Amino acid sequence: MFIKFALILSVLFCFEINAQNIDTQTFNKIDTYIKKVQKKANIPAVSIGIIKDDSLVYKKSYSKDEKVSADSLFYIGSLTKSFTALAIMQLVEDGKINLDDPLKKYLPWFEIQNMQSVDKITIRTLLNQTSGFSTYEGLKNFDNWDSSSFTLEKTIRALKGVRLASKPSTTFQYSNINYQILGLVIQKITGLSYNDYIKENIFNKLDMKNSFASLKDIDAKQITQGHRLWFGEAIESDFPFSKVMLPAGYIISNVEDMSKYLIAQLNNGIYKKEQVFSPSMIKQIQTPSATVIKDKFHYAFGWFVDTNNNISLSHMGSVPGYTSKVIMYPQEKLALVMLTNTTAYALGQKELNNLASNIMNIIKNKKINTSEFDLVSISAYIFFIGFIIAQLFLLRYFIKKLKSASKYKIILFLVFDIIIVISLYLIVPLLYNLTFSVFLMFTPDIGYLMLGSIIVAILSAIVKINRLSIA
């Protein structure tokens, strides 16, 4: 039923650099693999950069749009967190912040509902995602488009009504709110906006001339058009720049600039033979500080760390319309950055999420993780479409039998309608730590099928309530 019609046919704007220790055959395999996945998952544009030692050895863009090249700009999503962590560690090194100081030292007005735990929320717990804030709390502001200068502070002040999901320093729980708070700390300590600090102390030091933490220096039209996959088809997606989510996910960059950043990360803070960041700072940022999966997977400051075999650092980023990923092997001085203008959380998700990892597997001569037929997504589409049809059939049947229906039966079916609304509007999104509106942003195809079902249930409930009022 759900057949992909649009094929991505052209590969444009190729620019390759001396591959050093990675041979031409490997690059050809990467090229073939990306084209295959791009066609299968209908990804409009993919830009990749491969870094070896202190050089960008390969960069290329795969696109059906001639305007998109390897130098095009993308939102990098949660890769932003590592920039925020680096900024905080610069302030630590300057003696302006202590990692184990309570947050209230820097934000004296800070409040949460369970204030007995507030002093245990430190800069360190925010950096390593063990503050106790829930994943839900970090995702609910994705649809907050307040563009005022104080929007970030207003968001953090609103946490006074929030209860921590766990005690600080006890449990890893990935939450954007941790890095939103850290972004505000940067502003309060330095007296600069987040954008100005990152620009002066990171972008400028690494000659990242095409990276931005604000739209004031660029036109939004310069950013590659984002897309979301609806039933496997790429549909253009337009959302505003988010000042609220900026320190956690809204830096704008390209492959070239991100490669400069990764060169510094791989080489103990050295970029172009200059010690831009201290080795001790880079080491601390990359050192595991919270356990995600015992003895296997950890979190550092803005990085996930896999210690199962050869140590690797990685992070994925996703904002509506854009997916990115970085993978680093510090001991091998090898890294990959992938930027795309697509998000998918149903059909196409597996291919998109595995893309960067499989490119790295090709580089390291490992087996590619293949994506099986996505029965779960197809089943979800069929279920919700069938459910809406069944709802409409029952509503039509009920209207015909309304006059002869007993009060008991009317109430019974009314309760059923209410359960549908509550389940689809509140419970299902909550299972994914989302509000319903944010669920619509990230999973529009299934989300709008759910919305259709909710609307039919509400109409059905209105009909029944009206009948009860007459009876």
Q: Is residue 192 part of a domain?
A: yes
Q: Is pLDDT above 60 for 3? A: no
Q: Which string of DSSP letters, residue by residue, matches 219-262?
A: -GGGBPPEEEEETTEEEEE-----TTTHHHH--EE-HHHHHHHH
| Same domain, yes or no: 155 and 270 | yes
Region 398-412: mean pLDDT is: 82
pLDDT digits (tens, 9 = 90+) for 370-395: 877 889 999 999 999 999 999 999 99
Q: Is pLDDT above 90 for 211? A: yes
Distance from C-alpha of 460 to C-alpha of 471, rounded to nearest angstrom:
17
| Same domain, yes or no: 218 and 285 | yes
Query: What phi, psi does 18 have (nearest 5°)?
Result: -45, 125
Helix/strand/coil for 314: strand
Q: Is residue 303 part of a domain?
A: yes
How many CB atoms within 10 Å of residue 191? 8
Question: Which helix or strand (DSSP H or E) is residue 120 part of?
Answer: none
Q: Is residue 44 part of a domain?
A: no
**Cβ atoms of residues 237 and 226 within 8 Å:** yes
| Banded pLDDT at 319 (limits 50, 70, 90) | very high
Q: Tell which wins on pLDDT, 10 or 76.
A: 76
pLDDT at 10: 30
Going by DSSP bridges, is the β-strand pair 322-329/312-319 parallel, antiparallel, or unpaired?
antiparallel
> What tokens were used for 158?
């609103």
Q: Is residue 341 part of a domain?
A: yes
What is the edge-to-edge ordering of all strands in the sheet holding 304-306?
14-16, 55-63, 45-52, 334-340, 322-329, 312-319, 304-306, 297-299, 290-293
Region 304-309: mean pLDDT is: 90
| Same domain, yes or no: 288 and 308 | yes
| Same domain, yes or no: 332 and 290 | yes
Region 252-270: mean pLDDT is: 97
Q: With b meaning 16 or more CB within 10 Å and e meaning fewer, what string describes 431-466?
A: eebbbbebbbbbbbbbbebbbbbbebbeebbebbee
pLDDT at 406: 83
Domain harbouring 192, CATH code: 3.40.710.10
| Same domain, yes or no: 395 and 306 | no
Q: Is residue 51 part of a domain?
A: no
Domain end: 333, 363, 393, which one? 363
| Same domain, yes or no: 288 and 410 | no
**CA count, 13 A, side-chain hemisphere, 406:** 3
Residue 238, classified by CB atoms within 10 Å of its CB into exposed (0-12), middle (13-18) or buried (19+), is exposed
Distance from C-alpha of 320 to C-alpha of 250, rounded to nearest angstrom:
11
Give strand pairing partners of 212.
252
Domain end: 363, 383, 406, which one? 363
| Banded pLDDT at 471 (limits 50, 70, 90) | low
| Same domain, yes or no: 402 and 276 | no
Helix/strand/coil for 81: helix
Q: Max Cα separation, the chain?
A: 86
pLDDT digits (tens, 9 = 90+) for 57-115: 999 999 977 678 888 999 999 999 999 999 999 999 999 999 999 999 999 999 999 99
pLDDT at 14: 34
Q: Is residue 66 part of a domain?
A: no
Residue that is written with structure tokens 């650092």 in the block: 313
Q: Is pLDDT above 50 for 2? A: no
| Closest C-alpha to 249, from 174, 185, 192, 356 | 174
Q: Is residue 369 part of a domain?
A: no
Residues with Cβ < 8 Å from 36, sequence gap 6 or more? none
| Same domain, yes or no: 455 and 413 | yes
pTM beyond cutoff 0.75: yes
Residues with Cβ < 8 Å from 58, sequence gap 6 or more? 16, 17, 19, 22, 27, 48, 49, 50
Region 361-371: mean pLDDT is: 90
Pick from 17-26, 103-112, 171-180, 446-455: least confident: 17-26
Distance from C-alpha of 231 to C-alpha of 54, rounded to nearest angstrom:
41
| Same domain, yes or no: 187 and 232 | yes
pLDDT at 185: 98
pLDDT at 64: 78
pLDDT at 73: 96
| Same domain, yes or no: 308 and 335 | yes
Q: Is residue 292 part of a domain?
A: yes
Q: Is pLDDT above 70 for 9? A: no
* Mean pLDDT across the chain: 92
| Banded pLDDT at 400 (limits 50, 70, 90) | confident
Q: Which domain holds residue 384?
A: 375-470
| Same domain, yes or no: 384 and 419 | yes
| Same domain, yes or no: 79 and 182 | yes
Q: How many domains does the chain have?
A: 2
pLDDT at 210: 96
**Cβ atoms of residues 377 and 347 within 8 Å:** yes
Domain end: 363, 393, 413, which one? 363
pLDDT at 442: 95
Give strand pairing partners of 122.
102
